[in-house]
Structures are given as C-alpha cells and as structure tokens.
Amino acid sequence: MADPEDFAGQTPAWCPGCGNFNILKAFKAAMIRLELKPDQLVLVSGIGQASKLPHYTAGNIFNGLHGRPLPVATAIRLANHDMRVVAVAGDGDCYGEGGNHFLHAMRRNVNVKLFVHDNQIYGLTKGQASPTSQAGMVTKSQPFGVLLEPLNPIALAVAMDAGFAARAYAGDVQFLTEMMAAAMQHRGFALIDILQPCVTFNRLNTFRWYHERVYRLGPDHDPGDREAAFRLALEQEKIPTGVIYRHKRPLLEDQIPVIAGKEPLVHQPFSPKAVEKELEAFY
C-alpha cells in the first residue's frame, strides 16, 4: 500500500485559497490510489503557478521552460518507456506559448498525461488574459476587453482525435481524482483540462461562478461517441465535466521498431564496435 507521506513535497508558494491546492490534493490521491511510487514517475512542467506543482509533491522532476513541457515529456517516454510521465502546465503555458507542441503531442499519441490547470488568466505575471479567457474580459493588458475568442481545448482535442480528453473542475476533488486515475490508466496521450478559479486575478470565473455551471457527466454519456463528445465540448450555458472523449489509438512507442515491445532505449546495450562496419560503405 502506498504511503501518503511518499508524495509529500515542499511547502506550496501559491496564494491562499488557490484552486491549485485542490489539484495537488487530487494528484496525490490519484497516485496513492494507483499505488505508484515517486521514483516511477517523471513530472515535467513548464513555467507558471501550475508548473510549480511537481515541487510540492514527489517524483523525478524536470521543470523546464514556459510552453515546453510536452516535447521534453515526449522524449523522456521515448528514451524510457518504463517511466510514467506526467506533464503539468497552465493554460498560458500549454495553449499559448506551447500551442504547437500541444497540437503535435495529440498527433503523436505518446503515453504522456497532460494535466492543464486552466484558470483563464495569467497569474504569475499578475492578471493578463490567457488563451482561454472569455471574450470581453477586461484586464490590465486588455483595457478594451479580450477581443479574441477563447480557445476551446476539449473541442480541439476531439477534433484532433486525442485518445483521452477530459474536463475537470478543481472544486470537485473527488471527481478530479477519478479522472486523473483514469488518465494514468489510459494507454496513450491523455488531456485533463482542469478548470480552476484564480482567487487573486480572475474575478469573473470564481468558485461561485463555477458552482453554478459545472456538472458531472453521468454514465449516459458514451466517451466513444465523437459527435456527442464534440457537442459536449461546445456546451456554453452549463459546463460538463468528466471524460468527454476516449478513443484507443496506436501508441507512438509501439510503432517505433527500436523500442516497440523491447526494453527501454536507455537500457539497450551500446557497443561502438558494432557500428564500425558502417565505415565500409564509404570505401
């Protein structure tokens, strides 16, 4: 049985009341439920409040650059497919700065889990619009309100045929824990877009605002139904949470002959001698 102490980390430097605390709680609960050990995990993050999460729990950690956790996480899996790799990012990190990597990670379907803390605002730079901010939201850098339509990560994931796309709410730790556990058990790339109030900068999407709109999807939704998933992804008045889309696709690691069904690349033997015969081709 996993020991909750295994996943203790440093003291969080988040604002009191931040939705991140609940996400951290759910993360630890999911790891413990799955009986994982910190040394089996690699937690890869970018920059932003969300990306500090790995330091507040335990695992092997690569806290990289803003927007760049996905290429790092992808390569870690390709180099060692025994590791459980989780990328943690914020909405600005993943959908703004790292948008291109996000698109291609869904195409690759590498076995990386992507947990996005989506608070619809830039917290660490103190309150500018993020790619998911609602149109019209007035901020310090958008004095006329946000003029761009928000990016819909779940609709995008369904459109890109991502293997696992879930929406969660940081105010519902139990359901979030279940989704994290399900994502970890899904064989392939898994996105959880976690709606999370920013108590300091986002005065629009508050806990109260979410409580009035968020609901749990029940067993009547079939995540394998892509059209239904797309409709749910586009829902406006109420916000459905749960696994919205699920589709088993071939894993990238299973299609690269060098590692498919073999031991991890990092453990495959190397001998410079074996390569010497390559010189012959140039004579």
Partner 1 sequence: MFSPLANWKINAMDYSIKIGGQAGQGIQTISSALAKALVRSGCYVFTHQDYMSRIRGGHNFNQIRFSDRPVSSSRSKVDMLVALDQNTVNIHHGDLNAGGLVAYDSGAIGQKLDGPDFLDVPWRQIATDVAGSRLMENAAAAGAVMGMLGMDAGPLTELLSQMFLRKGQEIGDKNVAAARAGHKFAMDNCPTCAYSVPAGKNGPRRMLIEGASAVGLGALMSGCRFYAAYPMTPSTGVLNFMAAKSKQYSLVVEQAEDEIGAINMAIGASYAGVRAMTGTAGGGFALMVEGLSLAGMTETPVVIFIGQRPAPATGLPTRTEQGDLLFLLNASHGEFPRVIMAPGTPEQAFYLTNKAFDLAEKFQVPALILFDTYLTDAEWTVDGLDAARLKYTDYRLRAGDLEGLKQYKRHAFTGTGVTPLAEPGASPHLVVTDSDEHDEEGHIIEDAATRTRMVEKRLLKKLPLLRQEMEPPLFYGPQKAEILLAGWGSTYGVMKEAVDVLRERHNLAMMHWSEIWPFPGTDKVDYPARLRAAGRTLCVENNATSQFAQLLLSQTGYQFTDRVNKYDGRPFLLDELVEKVEALIG
Which positions touch partner 1 (CB under 8 A)? 10, 37-40, 42, 44, 47, 52, 55, 58-65, 68, 70-76, 78-80, 82-83, 100-101, 103-104, 256-259, 265-266, 268, 270, 272-276, 278-279, 282-283
Q: Report how far residue 271's alpha carbon sits from residue 283's, in angstroms, rounded to the nearest whole number.
A: 22
Q: How far is CA 236 from the centre of its chain?
A: 22
CB closer to partner 1, 55 vs 247: 55
CB closer to partner 1, 16 vs 272: 272
CB closer to partner 1, 10 vs 174: 10
Q: Report how far residue 232's alpha carbon sits from residue 221's, in angstroms, rounded to the nearest whole number.
A: 9
Entry field: residues in the chain: 283
Question: Using DSSP, how many helices (H) and how many strands (E) does the chain show?
Answer: 9, 10
Q: How far is the CB of 108 from partner 1 (least distance, A)?
A: 9
Q: How far is the CB of 282 from partner 1 (least distance, A)?
A: 4
CB closer to partner 1, 110 vs 244: 110
Q: How far is the CB of 9 from partner 1 (least distance, A)?
A: 9
Handedness of CA 250, 255, 259, 263 (dihedral sign): positive
CB closer to partner 1, 70 vs 116: 70
Q: How far is the CB of 115 from partner 1 (least distance, A)?
A: 17
- Identify the three-state secondary structure at position 209: helix
CB 90 within 8 A of CB 118: yes
Q: Could you give the count of Cα atoms lying within 13 Å of 278 in the half-sphere of its Cβ? A: 5
Q: How far is the CB of 126 from partner 1 (least distance, A)?
A: 17
CA distances from 53 to 11, 72, 121 (A): 10, 17, 17
Q: How far is the CB of 23 from partner 1 (least distance, A)?
A: 18
- Identify the three-state secondary structure at position 241: strand
CB closer to partner 1, 21 vs 209: 21
Phi, psi of 62 (to 5 degrees): -125, 100
CB closer to partner 1, 234 vs 266: 266
Question: Hey, which bits of 91-209 come out as E strands?
Answer: 112-118, 121-122, 128-129, 164-169, 190-195
Task: For residue 200, count other CB atoms closer than 10 A to its CB.
Answer: 17
Q: How far is the CB of 173 from partner 1 (least distance, A)?
A: 25
